[in-house]
Chain A
Amino acid sequence: MKYIDEFRDNKIAKNLAHAVSKKAEGLRPLSIMEVCGTHTMSICNFGIKDMLPANINLISGPGCPVCVTPKSYIDKAMAFSKKPEVILTTFGDMARVPGSDSSLMEEKAKGRHVRIVYSALDAIELAQKNPGKKVIFLGIGFETTSPTVAASLVYARKKKLKNFFVFSGHKVILPAMEALVKDGDVKIDGFLCPAHVSTIIGIKPYTLIAGKYKIPCVIAGFEPVDILQGIWMVLEQIRSKRPKVENQYTRVAKDSGNKKALALINEVFSVKDSEWRGIGTIRESGLFLNRKYSGFDAERVFSIKPVKTRPDTGCICGSILKGLKAPFDCPSFAKTCTPEKPKGACMVSSEGTCAAYYKHRI
């Protein structure tokens, strides 16, 4: 068992694609949303759309963490980076997202202390090696990433680190899925639920979507065979008119989720309303450092002048994140907006819908 080769097997994929076509026969046109940006990348990379029948449409959802982070967050991060005592640490994609005036990468070029890290643990190490500096980590991501940052904060508290801080922009995926369904602007007939967020949160949160809104939810892995099987399972639910939550990705995601990771999230964060790019403020959709960890909260510790965020112009990233529009609907796509010179976040992150469509020329 290699865990990857088997789930990229051409013969199995072709057989599944055929089974999906058979299952879709006679059904009305259906839209299935892949919530996660990694699914979007895989769908583009493996040409999944070309394997599907004409009545099955895949739409990309709001599951790219960098993309849904509002511009105001980037502007605040920029303000933190201008403090001479600060080393700002961030995941790579985040550094290239344009804020109102520039990006963190451009600030780095001007000599500001901006460092790209692979993990929050790298930021902790940097803080330990630079006791005279204050290290701020940009906490971005859904429930797959927030426990890793939580674990780092628990470690920092245990070690009594005085120069490590987190600026939390962490988000919870379910409120965004519900907001899209309630909004009703985009008709969603089924959800492919994110593989690794679900590994942490388990199947339970999605029962709201399947139960209250009667929309099939299938947790699917990121390999092409996983995605095709996930689509087949959604169609099977639509045919049987029994919407429920199913787990295709049982080799990694347990139905109960990862209790240790969930406990870490609860230990460090509290849930509050949060702003999403293109969607607006969603109730109880953000994770912020709780009182116990307030000494590590960059927003509380560092005072910055109020930042005026300029709205996006000539970028339809917001509509793309809601599944309302596709990248080629945007007049800037592949013309004035490219991965080398992105206008919006969806073109920056490799998980962004525009970047994935651009790379594979869909």
Chain B
Amino acid sequence: MKILKIEGDRAIVSAGRVERRIGINFLNNPRIGDYVMVHAGFAIEKLDPKRAEETLRILEEIQ
């Protein structure tokens, strides 16, 4: 889900039209626009676009 708004250790996140208020206590430097993985009302980690692209590149090499 994508962070829309940050209020202390809580944030409003969205996926499509769904919005939720979640805890962001576990995140380092959360920013608006970050994609986060959410579990039981908390962001457990930010998604790393560079790492995702790297994985997709490795996949191309697997034959």
Contact = CB atoms under 8 A, between A and B. Distances in A.
A347 to B, nearest CB: 22
Interface stretch (A210-218, A254-262, A309-317): A254-262
Contacts of A6: 52, 56
Give the interface residue-count category, chain B.
Answer: 20 to 34
A225 B41 contact: no
B26 A196 contact: no
Interface stretch (A24-32, A51-59, A117-125, A272-280): A117-125
A136 B23 CA distance: 20
A48 interface: no
B62 A118 contact: no
A98 interface: no
Given A1-B49, A1-B53, A151-B25, A16 B59 contact: yes
Interface string A245-266: 0001011111000101100100
A258 B48 CA distance: 14
A264 B51 contact: no
Contacts of B53: 1
Binding site of A, secondary structure by majority: helix, strand, loop or mixed? helix
B44 A260 contact: no
A253 B45 contact: yes
A4 to B, nearest CB: 10
A281 interface: no
B17 interface: no
B37 A196 contact: yes
Contact of A252 (B22, B26, B28, B45): B45
B52 to A, nearest CB: 4
A250 B59 CA distance: 13
B48 to A, nearest CB: 5
A301 to B, nearest CB: 23
Nearest to A152: B23
Contacts of A254: 45
Contact of B47 (A91, A248, A252, A261): A252
Interface stretch (A39-47, A105-113, A142-150, A176-184): A142-150
A232 B61 CA distance: 12
A144 B47 contact: no
A258 B27 CA distance: 8
Interface string A293-336: 00000000000000000000000000000000000000000000
Contacts of B26: 147, 151, 258, 260-261, 264
9 contacts: A1-B53, A91-B40, A119-B23, A144-B40, A196-B44, A229-B58, A253-B45, A260-B27, A260-B28
Interface of B: 22-23, 25-28, 35, 37, 39-42, 44-45, 47-49, 51-56, 58-59, 62-63
Given A141-B40, A151-B25, A199-B44, 11 more contacts: A1-B52, A3-B47, A118-B41, A119-B41, A144-B40, A151-B26, A225-B59, A229-B58, A252-B37, A254-B45, A261-B26
